[in-house]
Amino acid sequence: MFGAWSALWTSLALLLTGPEYGLSTATAGLFGLFGLTASAVAPLAGGLVDRFGAARVVRSAYLLAAASVPLFWLGGHLLGALFAAAVVIHAALVASHVANQTLALTATSTPATANTAYVVAGFAGGAAASALAGVAFSHFGWGGVCAVAGVWLVLGWGLTAVRR
């Protein structure tokens, strides 16, 4: 999940400051404000984890994130689609993070070790996806970045589906 988010988010400035939109870097940076919507999601996600279980929340977050990828792709031409996509992917990211961290902290007798592994793996995946997204953008444009994010979501969902 973090890899898909990273691929899209780190490449977004390239799209916004490029010929399609021609925004300044300062204006493009304002897209970060969409991340504030995620602060409302965290407590809701915690309640959903308590009610339905972490695994179910993670699966639902992947579906939400998958819905954001076509919005991001469409956002290559429509700024409004980027607004919606930014809110949706942040909500998915925070919900999955709350649920996954709950799993990491409760599924073992060594929660600190599990949390460390979770965070390191997440950032490694994010860095790898961001690197691939940069290459994809230079060769295939914004559609290539969206493809990297989509593949990352499929890989993450597949690993989540087989996890106990």
* CA–CA dist 19, 15 (Å, integer): 8
- What secondary structure letter does DSSP report for 141? T
User: Mean pLDDT for each 10-residue chunk of the chain (164 residues)?
Assistant: 95 95 93 84 93 93 95 94 94 94 88 91 95 97 97 91 69
Number of structural domains in the chain? 1
This model's pTM is above 0.85: yes
* Structure confidence at residue 164 (pLDDT): 57
State the pLDDT at residue 154.
95
- Give the chain's radius of gyration (CA, Å): 16
pLDDT of residue 163: 66
Boundaries of domain holding 98: 2-162
Please report, for the domain that includes residue 18, its CATH number.
1.20.1250.20
Give residue 38's pLDDT: 77
